[in-house]
Amino acid sequence: MNDRAWVATRKGLIELRRHGDAWKVARASFVGDPVSMVLPPDAGGRMFAALNLGHFGVKMHCSEDAGETWQEVAAPALPPQPEGAPGPAWKVTLVWAMERQGRTLYAGTLPGALFRSTDGAKSWQLDEALWDRPERPAWSGGGYDTPGIHSISPLADGTVLVGVSCAGAWITRDAGASWAQTAHGMRAEYMPPEQAFDPGIQDPHAIARCAAQPEVLWCQHHNGIFRSTNGGARWSELHAPLSSFGFAVAAHPVDPQTAWFVPAVKDQCRIPVDRALAVNRTRDGGASFETLRSGLPQQDCYDLVYRHSLAVAEDGVHLMMGSTTGGVWASGDGGDHWTALPARLPPVYAVRLG
């Protein structure tokens, strides 16, 4: 679906509708409350929104009618913490990622836990094999005090790849019975040189998969852009113009050579390069990039597009992105031209089309 979009923001969930080339706000839900992630409706209209109430914790809501009405359902929660257990407290502080594969829902959280639900979020099951990995207590935070799972890429055959800040990428090929590191080839320039290629300390900001050719994955990393053509077994570094720092990546759903990124200056200065918003697009597997600016603010711009806030529709043509200062831009031609949403939204956490 390329005429409906969902924008999860610091102060509510905003539904947008496209009429011709123009996007407009159609509805706002959870007004005033932080919505950390949204999972768009399935064919039957069932969708989910994860809230992070400032005082009252993480909550999950389900709609059976594509966002018209909502009911609270179970939120992912960790089991009782054993006395002396190493690592962060066993308390879910954020639902950072949500995906579905068939009837299974996935939720990635801070602190570094993956949950599944097969009953529509009436209950959630912790992936204990990943949670019990001996490396997990040493995972570090990236942007937050505790580590978190921000990218979940499930396939129908039981393969699931997750991106962790900061613990690289992990993969299961047996539906979560066992897990292995899969960030080899990523490079961390923020570590001592001898540890730069340690897969366990990589900080992938976001990982996206080509739906039609799922062995192709793209990663916007803390200090670079990486691509894998073998399902994450090995990653190669790419070099984009302006900057290879950023948060967001969108993978073309059909063309494994095409992906989009939104560069920012660097980790010490998280704003667009020259305060001019741009999108980097490659259509040749990362060998080269085009920098797209048409319709985007080109002066006095401080908009940062966060890791879940660049989305591409199933057609590979319609894109949308939202910023930490509430800007939203849409493209109907693969990113060549962008149009600003005529609204000032709260800080954007996630944008999803569908």
Does 162 help bind other proteins (rule: CB under 8 A)? no
Site for other proteins in 294-333 (CB under 8 A): none
Binding residue for other proteins, selected from 22, 42, 68, 81, defined by CB under 8 A: 81
- Closest CB to other proteins among residues 136, 308: 136
In the complex, minimum distance from the CB of residue 177 to other proteins, in angstroms, rounded to a whole number? 24
In the complex, minimum distance from the CB of residue 31 to other proteins, in angstroms, rounded to a whole number? 11
Does 75 help bind other proteins (rule: CB under 8 A)? yes
- Closest CB to other proteins among residues 56, 344: 56
Choose the stretch contacting other proteins; rule: CB under 8 A; options: 84-92, 210-218, 274-282, 308-316: 84-92
Does 78 help bind other proteins (rule: CB under 8 A)? yes
Does 90 help bind other proteins (rule: CB under 8 A)? yes
CA distance 20 to 105: 32
**Residue 151 CB neighbours (<10 A):** 26
What H or E segment, with its residue span, contains residue 131?
A: helix 128-131
Q: How many CA atoms lie within 13 A of 265 on its CB side?
A: 12
Does 113 help bind other proteins (rule: CB under 8 A)? no
Does 84 help bind other proteins (rule: CB under 8 A)? no
What tokens does 56 get? 């009252």
**Exposure string (b/e) for 273-304, b if CB count within 10 Å is 16 or more?**
beebbbbbbbeebbeebeebeebbbeeebebb
CA distance 89 to 109: 13
Fill in the DSSP letter of residue 129.
Answer: H
The site map against other proteins for 46-65 (x = CB under 8 A) is: -------xxxxx-x------
CA distance 64 to 41: 8
Binding residue for other proteins, selected from 92, 188, 201, 279, defined by CB under 8 A: 92
CA distance 80 to 341: 45
Binding site for other proteins (CB under 8 A): 53-57, 59, 72, 75, 77-81, 89-92
